[in-house]
Structure 1
């Protein structure tokens, strides 16, 4: 198996000066392999929100020793946040590949194609979120974050990493400001409790202060009636599901673009740095990949375990969250998910080099080459299985049983990708996206020159 697929500058210069999508022979197969892993891994994080009430997100931690608890621990330590970080890094690497090829070919302004590509992605994200009913859509958010990254394409590896650290710091400051607001609610609540014990009459503002903290506590104590109501609505018709999810969509993306955009930008910048270094394109010595594996797991996994312990303490005592400084744990979260994600990628790249599990590498490459189509396919499969306009299984499975569904969807992704790419150059949605980006239909069927 070839260690990588590269195209020299001379080879590019000899080709016609026509701006078009990358040919199959020019793809970095290792990037497709890692992207395939990240795409499949993201469903591990998304499945609880497809199949259960949002209020039950941390419910397994309330039942130590149960199957749900053990599965939650396994998923959280090894995959939670890590797959999203890795996917963000690959998005950053993809930015450099896309822009670099346009600049090498010349004859047009790369920014025109770059921003057109992202603006179409914004539209796809809105459709994915509001028409296909996936509240956790990342297409919209990635496209918005990507709009800021074009000027960073010329930076060195060190400069990109410095910019990533700045984004992490800004995100940490925003998280701390949010935490200070939470602490203020806690302090006002304690003042109200003191007044109540003294049998003082509360003002309307003080009653409001009490309600504000009780709402915070409610996030950690699922309301059985609200969960039952959500289950009922999600098992209903399309219109009811839409009305149920619409406020969640607005709330989620308002919060995520305020806080999460720094998360996305930091990981995308790291991905750009790793690509320039030669990490994702498999250009580094084997020894280097062993070192990134050991560093990624050796530092990242202990941090992940520590973060899980802190989360367990939060579940046991929500008030502790408001009484504790959380900047360091927040920064630790960013570090551990980036490090473990790089560790996962290192394992794959070492396996790719060794030639072991060639069939697995090909399967993951197929999924990664069609990541957009497979991401939306996951949504279609899950919403039809769980929502009322499909099979209506929302809220009917235990936490650990949700991962049986993940296994089935993975099989669908793998089989669909393998069959489709026997005949076509792109996935169906990749073809639509490319055709819109270049403003002309792209050749779809495979031909000998590919």
Structure 2
């Protein structure tokens, strides 16, 4: 990749490589909690608390995995939209109509996925995709206001500040608090047992009921806002053609990489220090708001570190063989994302082997890496025979309402 202007095929290859890397992080994020995608009873976690491997895996996951890869995946979704927008052959109206229809199909896929595994993000992507469309023609200033407002999770931070400064309602009695805790623990145990031991219909019914709790979590944690923010960041990067002119922007990528690395070192050091000195309770409620803000910055900076660092790494000629492996998985991103859920459900749920909670997080990570290696092998074999992954082919065919050429 020595050319100053990266050819379209190579540019897409690099983006596919990033998508493949994101899918590696996504399976590690999900498998670390046995693909439960929700509350796990304290009794299940408790038996691993004194395990050294679990402690190391938890620190590793907290710093490098949790909350860092759905953001990278979201960025790539926005980037793909920008590329389609720039390469469209139809007029703007026709292109947007087709893209909206594409989002409707994605929502249907996401709905089916959710009732089998409630950690689905496709339905969320479909809904937020309609909002992203509204930003396609705005100026850079407005776009960057939206990017920073959402990726820094400002809606949640503002909400917390307002709640902190407003007069408090009558505090709940100790008995009321105990009843709330007992209710939550019971719901968590019931849901976990249904997934781990229930029949297929039990699992589907449980996941369908959990639509509300999933939506509540998305808004209360701010994940839905952060996802939209990374959509918009990907849209901006795509419109600026950073990956089409990668050599030109390589110095900028390096600067962002080093800045992100330094920022993460300071933030992680702060959190570890506060944790080791047990300062959370002493620092009060305002410290929680500051911590949430720093954590949002940490997730953004870690995502940028992965984005720039992995792009620079995969762009090296000596790393072309790794790029080839990641790109094979990334080109079939939708198929491999759904396949990870199928494997996870079969491994850990009652409709499969029911292994949730049966081994600790470090073994989960090793299994996740093994699954990803199998996905590399499967993807390379499939793409040697077919033009698209099976779900990509179905999505594309449904978009154009015409069966697309599948076999090479």
TM-score (norm. length: structure 1)? 0.78
Is 1:90 equivalent to 2:76 in the alignment? yes
CA distance in 2, matches of 1:233, 1:321: 39
Is 1:129 equivalent to 2:108 in the alignment? no
1:72 is aligned, of 58, 66, 72, to 58
CA distance in 2, matches of 1:359, 1:93: 24
Equivalent residue number for residue 397 of structure 2:
435
State the SS of the aligned residue for 2:154.
helix
CA distance in 2, matches of 1:171, 1:125: 25
2:127 is aligned, of 127, 134, 144, to 144
Aligned pairs (5 A) from 1:175-254 = 175-176=160-161, 188-189=171-172, 192=173, 207-208=175-176, 211-212=179-180, 214=181, 227=189, 230-231=192-193, 234-254=196-216
1:134-192, Cα deviation, whole Å (9 max, x unpaired) = 111100111111110112112344432221123332242245567789x958x724xx4
Equivalent residue number for residue 35 of structure 1:
19
Q: Structure 1 residues 309 and 35 mapped into 2: Cα distance closer, same or farther (>3 Å)?
A: farther
1:179-218, Cα deviation, whole Å (9 max, x unpaired) = 789x958x724xx46xxxxxxxxxxxxx435534x45xx9
Q: How many Å apart are 1:308 and its aligned residue?
A: 5.9
User: Residues 40 and 192 of structure 2 are in contact (CA less than 8 Å); yes or no, is this contact kept in structure 1?
Assistant: no
Further displaced range: 347-356 or 135-144: 347-356
2:260 is aligned, of 296, 305, 309, to 296
Equivalent residue number for residue 445 of structure 1:
407
Is 1:418 equivalent to 2:380 in the alignment? yes
Is 1:345 equivalent to 2:307 in the alignment? yes
Q: How many Å apart are 1:51 and its aligned residue?
A: 4.7
1:276 is aligned, of 217, 221, 239, to 239
1:289-344, Cα deviation, whole Å (9 max, x unpaired) = 2211101111134324545666788xx79977983443332232222212111111
CA distance in 1, matches of 2:195, 2:280: 29
Q: Structure 1 residues 34 and 26 mapped into 2: Cα distance closer, same or farther (>3 Å)?
A: closer
User: Residues 157 and 276 of structure 1 are in contact (CA less than 8 Å); yes or no, is this contact kept in structure 2?
Assistant: no
Equivalent residue number for residue 67 of structure 2:
81
CA distance in 2, matches of 1:391, 1:418: 28
CA distance in 2, matches of 1:444, 1:163: 39
User: Residues 234 and 240 of structure 1 are in contact (CA less than 8 Å); yes or no, is this contact kept in structure 2?
Assistant: no
Equivalent residue number for residue 32 of structure 2:
48
User: Residues 194 and 206 of structure 2 are in contact (CA less than 8 Å); yes or no, is this contact kept in structure 1?
Assistant: no
User: Residues 304 and 337 of structure 1 are in contact (CA less than 8 Å); yes or no, is this contact kept in structure 2?
Assistant: no
1:97-139, Cα deviation, whole Å (9 max, x unpaired) = 122222x444961111110011111111100011xx2111100
User: Residues 60 and 72 of structure 1 are in contact (CA less than 8 Å); yes or no, is this contact kept in structure 2?
Assistant: no
Q: Structure 1 residues 232 and 110 mapped into 2: Cα distance closer, same or farther (>3 Å)?
A: closer
Q: Structure 1 residues 329 and 114 mapped into 2: Cα distance closer, same or farther (>3 Å)?
A: same
Equivalent residue number for residue 371 of structure 2:
409
Larger Cα-atom Rg: 1
State the SS of the aligned residue for 1:149.
helix
CA distance in 2, matches of 1:414, 1:176: 46
CA distance in 1, matches of 2:68, 2:100: 27
RMSD of the alignment, in Å?
3.4
Further displaced range: 385-394 or 367-376: 385-394
Aligned pairs (5 A) from 1:327-342 = 327-342=289-304
Q: How many Å apart are 1:392 and its aligned residue?
A: 1.9
CA distance in 1, matches of 2:67, 2:156: 15
Q: How many Å apart are 1:436 and its aligned residue?
A: 1.1
Q: Structure 1 residues 69 and 209 mapped into 2: Cα distance closer, same or farther (>3 Å)?
A: closer
Aligned pairs (5 A) from 1:51-62 = 51=35, 54-55=39-40, 59=45
Q: How many Å apart are 1:380 and its aligned residue?
A: 0.8
Further displaced range: 357-366 or 238-247: 238-247
Unmatched tracts of structure 1, length 5 or more: 8-24, 194-206
Unmatched tracts of structure 2, length 5 or more: none
